[in-house]
Chains A and B, each alone.
Chain A
Amino acid sequence: MPVSNATAWGQLPDGRPLHRWTLRNARDTQVEISNLGGTLLSWQTPDRQGRVGEVLLGHADAGQYIDSNAYMGAIVGRWANRIRGGRFRLDGIDYKVDRNDGGNHLHGGNYGFHLQRWDVETDGDDLVLRLVSPEGDGGFPGEVSVELRVRLDDDGTLDLRYTATSDAPTPLSLTAHPYFNLNDRRPDIRDHVIRIDADEFLAIDAGAIPVGRQQVAGSAFDFREAAPIGSRLHWPDPQLQLVGGFDHCYIPRQPAAQAPRVVAEVVEPSSGRRLTVESDRPGLQFYSGQKLTGQPSRHGDAYGPFAGFALETQAFPDQVNGPEAEGAILRPGVVWRQHTRYRVDTL
């Protein structure tokens, strides 16, 4: 169905107006997106009984999104996840980028894509969001132009196609950062049952920076067979204790021919809703939401721990400082592409 016209939705601190748009499909699902950070504000979809409910966490108004540090629903860039010490070397030049996470860089820095006002236009069923990130944005080199094309299909798929170009070599990793809770009647995702199609994940240090690949087999991180999130949190595992739960990058089996492959599936037994994530990215960050405590909710109260979970499709954290650094660099003349699909349906 065609995207709705823009609706006024608050303003930036400098007075520029913000808007939101609504995507609908033929099966009672609707998704709201703002031009503030390309944020997914809301996703309402039927449960097993056909009752429509909200499956995304969200704040109450634009001001809370601007003040928040949860990246709730936003498009994150230029660099999704962390860079050790906010430093990297590219083509012999050392760069220092914003250090906004205990000495490390996180999610684009102090003024990342999630806080910027995107240009938005509708194109039939698609919503097209564009952003020009100037040279030096967050400390990164080159001027980067990003286009994100969003579409809501009748089968409940939210299709996200990104393209980007740059006039100078720069690291680039973008991701959507929605927090899901598939049961809008219970503010806790620990009964959700998750499957992640990955044999390995990246073990981290105390600063949440990867230190090496680790097999999931025989550990709390093995979700190749579906398992409840909550009970795994009680497995004795130093990797879980480091960050109070899951906040780790999985390495799903590699995509064939750059086409999205299913990387994860989450089922909520009570509502019967199911989330399927498909992506062509090398990494999948799984965050179990343990630090959401105190984040303001759209209903005026505050979220508690494990109120939602995030599945972020992206490059590997700190990839720019590792052996696979070149894979995360966008060079002039090349079009960078990413394709991620989130689908919510019912069993």
Chain B
Amino acid sequence: MSPHRIALLFNANKVYDRQVIAGIGHYLNSTRVEWDLFMEEDFRSRMRDIHQFRGDGVIADFDDPEAPDALRDLPIPVVAIGGSYHDPAAYPPGVPYIATDNARLIRLAYDHLIEQGLGRFAFYGIPPHPGSRWAQEREHAFQAIVDEESVEGVVYQGSPTSAGGWGTAVEELVTWLAELPKPIGIIAVTDARARQLLQACVIGGFAVPEQIAIVGIDNDPMAQLLTRIPLTSVIQGAEEMGRTAAHLLHQMLRGMDCSGTRVLVPPVGINVQVSSKYQPMRSPHVMRASHYIRQYGCLGIKTEQVADYVGVSRTVLEEHFKRELKQTVHQVILKHKLDTACELMTNSDTPLADIALRCGFTSLQYMYAVFRREYDCTPRQYLDLHRKTAAT
């Protein structure tokens, strides 16, 4: 028997779509199912051409507003992938639907911020658009939570992202952030939006996470790469969505009626990074200084520059650091460099000499000397020890 010919209709330019497709691949690899998969070379879908497709089944991204109409009269099984809706009537009728559970994504981000000790919240979304109804669903979920729990919650949709309007959009975002009561926890509708927030915080001089704690959604490595302050992000169950869709289509090709099946997949994790590790601090000077060190600590900065940024004398800043953190400014900068070096050693294959330079040590020899002094071992020994503890 020749393999079933299956079309995957996704715009796989985002990490979410790629994970869904990876999940479909995992399902096929775990079984003896052979599918002849049809995708465009650029991993983008052309819904309008699908009626010419001589195949056996389709898995399609129903967040694409063209999908329901384009696929309605197709005589072969179709499985829909998309965002969940709070209104059951919003789902396309007669099609099995695998959804990322928008309400649970927001709940996980919100609970995380609550656990950090925050009591005020905001949501940074995107303006309504037919291709991103999921964003409105996330906004709705946020509104429902803050209403239910009677806490302060502000929603800001901002402007659509465009090259021409970028300057104004950033200015408006900074203005919005300036007007928010602080400290506050902000949930961004995606990591792409969270990255814009982080950038606006740097421009506006708001300390992250001391004044503004931020959680994104997608756990997108690209967004992570483009921010100085590592971003906390909710991880969607996208691979599981792909596995589920493949399983349903597999059953439908064997004749099972799955038209009424709807599966909501909750998030599978949250990658907790600095952007949400809110700790109440009493001294605004220490707060601003910590914010500066987190951004530029690896660029060879000295106490002098930190004090300049904060706008106080070295002596005053040192007093505040001693009282609040029981450390000197220099010690905190050094700690930041060492932490970054350890992070890079554990999670990347970067050569040690490059790590030394990237973390603001003047040479590899100097980094060795600092490790010896602070941890009484070499960087390599430190790493071995760390790996061993992680394994046991």
Contacts and interface: CB of A to CB of B under 8 A. Distances in A.
User: Is B truly associated with A?
Assistant: yes
Interface in A64-120: none
B268 interface: yes
Given A231-B237, A231-B266, A48 B272 contact: yes
B116 A49 contact: yes
A236 B392 CA distance: 39
A201 to B, nearest CB: 14
Given A227-B243, A228-B240, A218 B272 contact: no
Contacts of B239: 225
B115 A236 contact: no
B264 A231 contact: yes
A155 interface: yes
B27 interface: yes
A14 B249 CA distance: 60
Contacts of B26: 225
Contacts of A272: 270, 272
A222 to B, nearest CB: 6
A236 B248 CA distance: 8
Nearest to B263: A234
A51 B262 CA distance: 36
Contacts of B104: 191
B271 to A, nearest CB: 10
B211 interface: no
B377 interface: no
A228 B265 contact: yes
Interface residues of A, number: 29
Interface size range of chain B in the complex: 35 or more
Contacts of B33: 218
B244 A267 contact: no
B283 to A, nearest CB: 23
Interface in A41-59: 47-49, 51
Given A227-B240, A228-B265, A269 B258 contact: no
Contacts of A185: 111
Interface in A215-241: 217-220, 222, 224-228, 230-231, 234-236
Interface string A179-191: 0000001000011
Given A218-B27, A218-B247, A270-B112, 17 more contacts: A48-B115, A49-B116, A190-B266, A191-B267, A220-B247, A222-B30, A224-B30, A225-B26, A228-B265, A234-B261, A235-B244, A235-B247, A236-B251, A269-B267, A269-B269, A269-B270, A270-B111
Interface of B: 26-27, 30-31, 33, 104, 108, 111-112, 115-116, 235, 237, 239-240, 243-244, 247-248, 250-251, 256, 258, 261-270, 272, 392
Interface of A: 47-49, 51, 155, 185, 190-191, 193, 217-220, 222, 224-228, 230-231, 234-236, 267, 269-270, 272, 347
